[in-house]
Structure 1
Amino acid sequence: MTRSETTPSPRRQELLEAAYAYALRSGLGELSLRPLAEEIGSSPRVLLYLFGSKDDLIRSLLARARASELEALRHAGDRVGRTEGVGAAARVLWDWLSDDAHRALLRLWVESYARSLIDPDGPWAGFARATVEDWLALLAEHQPAELRANEAGRTQRTLVLAVLRGALLDLLATGDTARTTAALHLQLDALP
């Protein structure tokens, strides 16, 4: 159990937010405590005291990033009525995903997702699987009850998620919003 789990503090939260802003700018792959601490007005010793270890700090940052992503996606999804279907929800989610304002968070997500696959025993462990489950649950909220509960519904959610993520990776690589949006809409139009 880390110090942060036994004694949460306002300073820990303040440093977590500052470290999160740093991670959005710089990523997590090459995170080093000394430059991070200098950038956020702390010291490596304080970070280790508050977070327990560098790996625990990374886990806290990943949890923070997931919380931000889910909150934003849930808010975007809430703009669609629950009866409009998963395709309508995916279009609204894509509007959020393709907005330039969210590129830093999405690049951090891609980095963390990939690291989770490459280093399954490190601080990224389980990140990719957890985000898949998060997104599938979010998409399920926009399916009729009978689809939510059966294999056909899960398959539909998986297809929509694959299309969203594929388009997102392409968009992050190319910046071509018009082409990726058109491709996404073409696929979503084919949904039953």
Structure 2
Amino acid sequence: MPTTKPAPSAREQELLERAYEYSLTHGLADLSLRPLATAIGSSPRVLLFLFGSKDGLIRALLQRARADELALLRQIGSADAEPAGLTVVARELWTWLVAVERRPLMKFWVEAYGRSLVAPEGPWGDYGRSTVDDWLELLKASQADPETAASAARRTAVLAMLRGALLDLLATGDLERTTAAVEDYLRD
């Protein structure tokens, strides 16, 4: 009989939120439990007890980051009863992605996405694939005729363009140029 993990305790949730804030500024690649624990007011032993392992903590952090993304997707996806249209939703996504307060989350996403490609057997698991699927579902819901091959190709192209522009923005900080490129693409 499969067992389900009990709901996280208040302390586990509190430490996860603190670890999440820490990881947004320090990243995950070189995450070490001792400095993390010190920074968030805990100990490595407590973190290991609560999350099972460093990989368990990383998985929890990735789930936490994904929760932020999914909240956006639900918010944008539920805005209208009728599909808003791919261009409208793409613009909303771009506005959300480039907000200065989300830069740490976006850098976190890039790191986790990249790690999921080079270390798919680790705690990063299927992170990259699942985020692609999540965003494609939102874009699909924005299309009036989503089941055609042309619609599938267009939403894939829009997703690729948004993510490429985001990578460029994160690397250069040039919001004006990258936004102009997004707008130019969406005019087609």
Which TM-score applies when normalising by structure 2? Answer: 0.92
| Residue in structure 1 matched with residue 149 of structure 2 by the alignment | 151
1:87–1:7 distance in 2 versus 1, CA, 3 Å: closer
Amino acid at match of 1:84: A
Residue from 161, 164, 170 that aligns with 2:162 = 164
Q: Deviations over 1:11-43 (max 9, x none)?
A: 111111110010111111110111111111111
Amino acid at match of 2:184: L
Amino acid at match of 1:63: Q
Q: Secondary structure at the match of 1:148?
A: coil
1:113–1:53 distance in 2 versus 1, CA, 3 Å: same
| Residue in structure 1 matched with residue 57 of structure 2 by the alignment | 57
List runs of 5+ in structure 2 lacking aligned partners. none
CA RMSD of aligned residues (A): 1.7
| Cα separation, 2, equivalents of 1:137 and 1:98 | 21
1:11–1:104 distance in 2 versus 1, CA, 3 Å: same
1:78–1:185 distance in 2 versus 1, CA, 3 Å: farther
1:179–1:102 distance in 2 versus 1, CA, 3 Å: same
Measured after TM superposition, the shift of residue 138 of structure 1 is 1.1
Residue identity (%):
56
1:88 aligns with 2:50: no
| Residue in structure 2 matched with residue 35 of structure 1 by the alignment | 35
1:178–1:82 distance in 2 versus 1, CA, 3 Å: farther
Measured after TM superposition, the shift of residue 78 of structure 1 is 4.8
Amino acid at match of 1:71: A
Measured after TM superposition, the shift of residue 113 of structure 1 is 0.4
1:51–1:184 distance in 2 versus 1, CA, 3 Å: same
| Residue in structure 2 matched with residue 136 of structure 1 by the alignment | 136
| Residue in structure 2 matched with residue 185 of structure 1 by the alignment | 183
List runs of 5+ in structure 1 lacking aligned partners. none
Measured after TM superposition, the shift of residue 177 of structure 1 is 0.7
1:66–1:84 distance in 2 versus 1, CA, 3 Å: same
Worse-matched range after superposition: 25-34 or 78-87: 78-87
Which TM-score applies when normalising by structure 1? Answer: 0.90
Contact 2:83 2:141 in 1 (8 A): no
